[in-house]
Chains A and B, each alone.
Chain A
């Protein structure tokens, strides 16, 4: 892996080794030999341009795609030997967009987090109901509990998804660009709530500053490979951002975030313009 990791090698909740995935019967390779670890309790961010393969990688991890090679170990057990239900008991997912849910209420959707833990013939117990209630209250969703999920705003929907994820009691939370389409206020709110949960997280994030602010560790993907890995301030350099994102930025220390969090400031020019400027000076 390029770059050094400054985090401690504690127990890894997830280990990915040499994962590759292709579509169209092997003709088009999307993911090339991906390897990384997620330490227990870490908030790991996955950044990279569109088409880098971030979503595809995540889909391999939560069972929608089946990689052709590589191993994924979850708490020491091979993930692909577990069935869907067992996987769901350990991993929960928050996506960026949601199907209409055809009439289900906020309560119903949140309660879906119980599905992996309940046998087909088991009822919801009183305890379950209390847990759903307290989760909804924590997320300020209690007054909305009988509303149709479809009728909620984007930010509210994501909070419901977070409630569902919490109720699922996972070891690892995977989030696929959860802050897209959200107002800034809701983006920050969501990330703070997730961080407060204290569980291991793998999240793909579009906004580099948010990634810098919330993640303990960053993985940078481009063209199906991981090209950088490390803490935000080691990974987010001007050169990397220029190479990977083709944007000119200035990186300095964030004035009021702790832990030497980097701050990305965009120069609103294209690269060619910049080169011209440099050439001139």
Chain B
């Protein structure tokens, strides 16, 4: 079992945020960054106040939120794929993304008349999105029946997605073009409004979910053997499945509510990680989120830096970058056999 890929990943996980923090419109070099850190820790370093503010209040929260989101979505995707034994499962299985978008649209449509300032409005948008995804999950679980059957659940999720998407489109059609464009931007994902305060809840939920998933690694892997085999190994299959579905939904919903619907990561990162870390299957439960987090930080850098003076939505880049990456990894493997 080779461990150098793991070390590579860990090193990358430390370097990437640092590098990402010195990329941006304002000219902040690594030297500046280190000076800021030194200054904040009371090391008596002379620091440009504006640069410090930008670095600490704008750049770092973005990077941390990007990492959290990437890690959370990748982890949710992995657990869902394991628990449903479906390699095409992703965190939006229950129409979570469409539900969140619909919730956000409703908030905008209902509260739109009041122009508000500050954090309370942001909470309104996030809250609405979260309620929307929660509603979607409830509908899917109701449709899936008492003993959760995977096929019914997947179908119910697809149907619910369509339902919320069409409702969203209708509301958008009837609203101001500026509002529609704003919502489109939100639904494609963005870390531009990251603040330290906003991150506490997602961080806590991610940590809790991660620990639970880590502890349940063995029973989760037993699910891969099939329901009957898993039961014969002592795993309470239905209970485990439902609780994992609910946990991943919670994790996904809180992330989507904060950052909008970023696609692709939850579906593809688990596959990419599995193929890249063939010899380290045991560690996938922590490797997947770390890889997802690093990936998302890169994506955010590209979103900020690709076009001068203009920010691209994250969802567009995750899809483009991730699919190319995946094709390369698959292609390599196909030809090496």
Contacts and interface: CB of A to CB of B under 8 A. Distances in A.
Interface of A: 59, 62-64, 83-89, 91-93, 95, 98-105, 108-109, 112-116, 118, 120-121, 146, 168, 174
Contacts of A99: 85, 224-226, 229
28 contacts: A62-B232, A85-B234, A88-B233, A88-B235, A89-B234, A93-B228, A93-B232, A95-B226, A95-B228, A95-B229, A98-B226, A99-B225, A99-B229, A101-B225, A102-B81, A102-B85, A102-B87, A103-B281, A108-B221, A112-B233, A115-B218, A115-B219, A115-B222, A115-B233, A116-B233, A116-B234, A120-B216, A120-B218
Contacts of A118: 218
Given A86-B234, A95-B228, A98-B229, 20 more contacts: A62-B228, A62-B231, A83-B236, A84-B236, A87-B234, A88-B233, A100-B224, A101-B225, A102-B81, A102-B85, A102-B224, A103-B281, A108-B281, A109-B225, A112-B221, A112-B222, A112-B233, A115-B233, A115-B234, A168-B233
Q: Which of A102, A109, A146, A174 has the most CB of B within 10 A?
A: A102
Contacts of A62: 228, 231-232
Contacts of B215: 120-121
B224 A63 contact: no
Contacts of A63: 231-232
A92 B281 CA distance: 25
B51 interface: no
A87 B231 CA distance: 10
Given A88-B234, A115-B234, A93 B221 contact: no
Contacts, number: 82
A89 B232 CA distance: 9
Contacts of B229: 93, 95, 98-99
B82 interface: yes
Interface of B: 81-82, 85, 87, 215-216, 218-219, 221-222, 224-229, 231-236, 274, 279, 281-282
Interface centre among B81, B87, B224, B279 (most CB of A within 10 A): B224
B250 to A, nearest CB: 20
Nearest to A92: B232
B231 A104 contact: no
A88 B236 CA distance: 11
A90 to B, nearest CB: 10
A258 B232 CA distance: 34
Contact of A84 (B85, B225, B235, B274): B235
A98 B232 CA distance: 13
Contacts of A83: 236
A93 to B, nearest CB: 4
Nearest to B218: A115
Given A108-B221, A115-B222, A120-B215, A59 B228 contact: yes
Nearest to B216: A120
Contacts of A95: 226, 228-229
A95 B85 CA distance: 18
Contacts of B235: 84, 88, 115
A147 to B, nearest CB: 11
A92 B228 CA distance: 11
Contacts of B81: 102
A209 B242 CA distance: 44
9 closest A-B pairs by CB? A88-B234, A99-B226, A93-B232, A116-B234, A85-B234, A115-B233, A120-B215, A84-B234, A62-B232
Contacts of A100: 85, 224
Contacts of A102: 81-82, 85, 87, 224
B334 to A, nearest CB: 15
A51 B272 CA distance: 43
A93 B81 CA distance: 24
A104 B228 CA distance: 17
Contacts of B274: 103
Q: Interface centre among B218, B224, B233, by most A CB within 10 Å?
A: B233
A87 B228 CA distance: 14
A124 B224 CA distance: 19
A115 B282 CA distance: 14
Contacts of B236: 83-84
A95 to B, nearest CB: 6
Nearest to A118: B218
A114 B221 CA distance: 12
Contacts of B219: 115, 120
A64 to B, nearest CB: 5
A116 B232 CA distance: 9
A115 B216 CA distance: 11
A104 B224 contact: yes
Contacts of B282: 108
A83 B232 CA distance: 11
Given A103-B281, A115-B218, A118-B218, A64 B225 contact: no
A168 B235 CA distance: 13
A120 B220 CA distance: 11
B232 A104 contact: no
A108 to B, nearest CB: 6
Contacts of B281: 103-105, 108
A88 B81 CA distance: 25
